[in-house]
Amino acid sequence: MKKYNWLTMLLVCIMLLLVACSGGTSTENGNKNNGKSSGKNPATTRGNELVVRVAGDPQNWDPIDTYLVAWSTVGTSVFEGLVSRSLDLEIQPGLAESWDYVDDKTIVFKLRQGVTFHDGEPFNAEAVKFTFDRLLGEEGQKGPQYSNYTSINRVEVTGEYEVTMHLNSIDPVLLTKLSGYGAVIVPPKYIEEHGAAYFDMNPVGTGPFKMTDYQRDKQVVIERYEDYWNKDAIKLDKVTFKVIPETATALAELQTGNIDIMTRLEVSQAPSAEDTDFITLMDVATPTAYSIRFDTSKAPVDDVRVRQAINYAIDKETIVKEILGGYGNLISSFQSELSFGYNKDLQPYPYDPEKAKKLLAEAKIAEGTTLDFFIPGTDGTFKEIAQAVAFYLEEVGLKVSINSVENTTFQSELIPNGEAGHMYKNGWGGWTLDFDNTAYLMYHEGEFWNPSYKNDEVEQLLAKERATNDSAEREKIFKELTEVLYEDATEVNLYSEVEIYAVNKRVKNFQPPHDGRFRFENVTVE
């Protein structure tokens, strides 16, 4: 009994400390600043350039070789796709001025004229065909992007500035996919002359900025491309992305004026950032969702009653309020409200420890049963969440063994091989803003990050939503799918992320991106 009381007091102390350190919640893109003086703004002498802190380096700039947000943060300014996605997440023309569906499996794209790659090579229909032949061919099939575009059979050149895309199957999310990552258009002659390995480190696209310096794990420099087709929208001369993994180091660089924008500011750092009078905080809802995923092949979480009990046992609202300082939105399925297919009628599992105990008793789970919970060792915030989860589960009679492991091993080996314990942290960026991508890769049998889960009803619904382009029909199918997954309690859905940006006040017209993909149109500095 003494041990239980000690654990209770420890959790209370942790949460009180986090509340004292948290910055509270502002409205999306809202500014917060206490106006406390810390001297003049040292960044004003930098000139017409931005310095942005990023946490990681994708190590490779070839669009077909990566799926990392770290790539798109920079790559969106260097490359362009046939279609584009605005900061408000609207699909709009990109390198294609327009497109028309001839039928459900045939799309004609009218291409923008007068566009050149950064090496001076002209953009045209041949470049589009080369890009998709490469993406769908032997080279592209070795990379992580290929599986997103298997619905495309081939791209046919039907004019100097026109291509016709022939599909193998209906793909209701195709236009969104074409707006980024693997489907951005690359220069044929440049790649043929220099080779793929050179292109990895020296990328060339048609975007508003060209990459002029890349020092792996240190920095990336992009400079305004003077021949950009929409050059009047670009006001900055240069943007430098500094790779600074440690958040404490990044905050120090921000406060001394060495960087202008800090991504992924931690909740506990918000007061320190606000104490600097030339820094303002901005927050933005993201499509990234976080959950605790169950390996349904392992007892006792192979029993749906146990999975439901764990959902009822965890006070998710308190976790978001106290540990995240309010920077998170509760979710009922593994997607954010920004995602097409989010079921607003479905409410998150309520905090009900008594109901949890009842379900565990029905499943005949012995008190003191231990569950292994795997988390990446680099995520300090989620470590706090894991400790809170362990406390909540002990309240209903379950013990939790928290295992912190190296992130690459965690993502690439343990999860896909079913070696991440009874439950594990699961995060998903939801970059297509459509539940299709998340649902298929998480719940379809045999997918890389789905080592064990199978549900015949889920399989049928996934197949149905991919068989139509009708938005209303797909929304109806997703509603049914989310309800099935909810009852099956495939995971504990915790929250969708609200990201905090710390921005130097000399930066004007900057809008934090929902999806981590920076766009610098009309951004200026003083």
What CATH number does residue 131 fall under?
3.90.76.10
Q: What integer is the mean pLDDT of 88-103?
A: 96
- Average pLDDT over the chain reads 92
Q: Do 247 and 300 fall into the same domain?
A: no
Q: What pLDDT, on a 0 to 100 scale, did the predictor assign at position 24?
A: 36
Nearest residue to 162 via CA among 232, 113, 218? 113
Decide if 68 is inside a domain. no
Contact 348, 316 (CB under 8 A): yes
Name the token pair of 271.
């007061």
- Could you read off the pLDDT of 510-523 as tens digits, one per residue? 999 999 999 999 99
Place of tokens 């309240």: 395
Q: What pLDDT, on a 0 to 100 scale, did the predictor assign at position 230?
A: 96
Please count the other Cβ atoms lying within 10 Å of the Cβ belonging to residue 6: 10
Nearest-angstrom CA–CA distance, 349 and 345: 13
Q: Do 333 and 295 fall into the same domain?
A: yes
Q: Do 456 and 325 fall into the same domain?
A: yes
Q: What pLDDT, on a 0 to 100 scale, did the predictor assign at position 22?
A: 39
- Could you read off the pLDDT of 209-231 as tens digits, one per residue? 999 999 999 999 999 999 999 99
- With 70 as the cut, is the pLDDT of residue 20 above it? no
Q: Do 154 and 262 fall into the same domain?
A: no
Please give the C-alpha separations between residue 182 and each of 179, 386, 427, 520, in angstroms, as whole numbers.
Answer: 9, 34, 21, 21
Decide if 202 is inside a domain. no
Q: What is the CATH number of the domain that holds 440?
A: 3.10.105.10
Nearest-angstrom CA–CA distance, 55 and 220: 12
Q: Do 171 and 264 fall into the same domain?
A: no
Q: What pLDDT, on a 0 to 100 scale, did the predictor assign at position 209?
A: 98
- With 70 as the cut, is the pLDDT of residue 186 above it? yes
- With 80 as the cut, is the pLDDT of residue 447 above it? yes
Please give the C-alpha separations between residue 396 and each of 13, 150, 250, 309, in angstroms, as whole numbers.
Answer: 21, 46, 40, 9
Q: What integer is the mean pLDDT of 21-25?
A: 38
- Could you read off the pLDDT of 398-433 as tens digits, one per residue? 999 999 999 889 988 999 999 999 999 999 988 889
DSSP-derived secondary structure letter, 150: T
Please give the C-alpha separations between residue 369 and each of 6, 7, 311, 394, 430, in angstroms, as whole numbers.
Answer: 20, 18, 16, 10, 34
Measured on CA atoms in the order 500, 337, 173, 89, is the torsion positive or negative? negative
Nearest-angstrom CA–CA distance, 300 and 233: 57
Contact 260, 520 (CB under 8 A): no
Q: Specify the length of the chain in residues.
A: 526
pLDDT band at 26 (very low <50, low <70, confident <90, very high): very low
Q: What pLDDT, on a 0 to 100 scale, did the predictor assign at position 102?
A: 97
- Could you read off the pLDDT of 328-383 as tens digits, one per residue? 999 999 999 999 999 999 999 999 999 999 999 999 999 999 999 999 987 888 99
Q: What is the count of structural domains for the chain?
A: 3
- List, edge to edge, every strand of the sheet that includes 162-167: 96-103, 106-111, 162-167, 152-159
Beta strands in 74-202 (DSSP E): 83-85, 91-93, 96-103, 106-111, 152-159, 162-167
Beta strands in 169-252 (DSSP E): 209-215, 219-224, 238-243
Q: Do 314 and 431 fall into the same domain?
A: yes
Percent of the chain with pLDDT over 90: 86
- With 90 as the cut, is the pLDDT of residue 287 above it? yes
Q: What integer is the mean pLDDT of 63-72?
A: 89
Contact 385, 11 (CB under 8 A): no
Q: What pLDDT, on a 0 to 100 scale, did the predictor assign at position 369?
A: 98
Q: What pLDDT, on a 0 to 100 scale, did the predictor assign at position 33?
A: 40
pLDDT band at 144 (very low <50, low <70, confident <90, very high): confident
Tell me which of 191 and 7 has the higher pLDDT: 191
Q: What is the CATH number of the domain that holds 214?
A: 3.40.190.10
Q: Do 381 and 483 fall into the same domain?
A: yes
Indicate the pairing of strand 398-405 with strand 369-376: parallel
Range(s) of the domain holding residue 146: 75-185
Q: Do 293 and 274 fall into the same domain?
A: no
275, burial (CB in 10 Å: exposed 0-12, middle 13-18, buried 19+): middle
Q: What pLDDT, on a 0 to 100 scale, did the predictor assign at position 19?
A: 41
Helix (H) or strand (E) holding 398: strand 398-405
Angle at the Cα of 468 from the Cα atoms of 465 and 469, rounded to 5 degrees: 110
Q: Do 369 and 455 fall into the same domain?
A: yes
Q: What pLDDT, on a 0 to 100 scale, did the predictor assign at position 3?
A: 36
Place of tokens 């709009």: 92
Q: What is the pTM of this model?
A: 0.82
- With 90 as the cut, is the pLDDT of residue 181 above it? no
pLDDT band at 39 (very low <50, low <70, confident <90, very high): low
Displacement of CA 427 from its chain's centroid (Å):
8
Nearest-angstrom CA–CA distance, 225 and 156: 29
Contact 294, 426 (CB under 8 A): no
Burial 475-514 (b: 16+ CB within 10 A, else e): eebbbbbbbebbebbbbbbbbbbbbbbbbbbbbeebbbbb
Provide φ and ψ at 261, rounded to 5°. Answer: -130, 125
| Lowest-pLDDT choice from 37-51, 124-138, 496-510 | 37-51
DSSP-derived secondary structure letter, 410: I
| Lowest-pLDDT choice from 7-11, 250-254, 298-302, 418-422 | 7-11
Q: What pLDDT, on a 0 to 100 scale, did the predictor assign at position 494?
A: 98
Decide if 316 is inside a domain. yes
Cα within 13 Å of Cα(395), Cβ side:
21
- With 50 as the cut, is the pLDDT of residue 35 above it? no
- Could you read off the pLDDT of 295-340 as tens digits, one per residue? 999 999 999 999 999 999 999 999 999 999 999 999 999 999 999 9
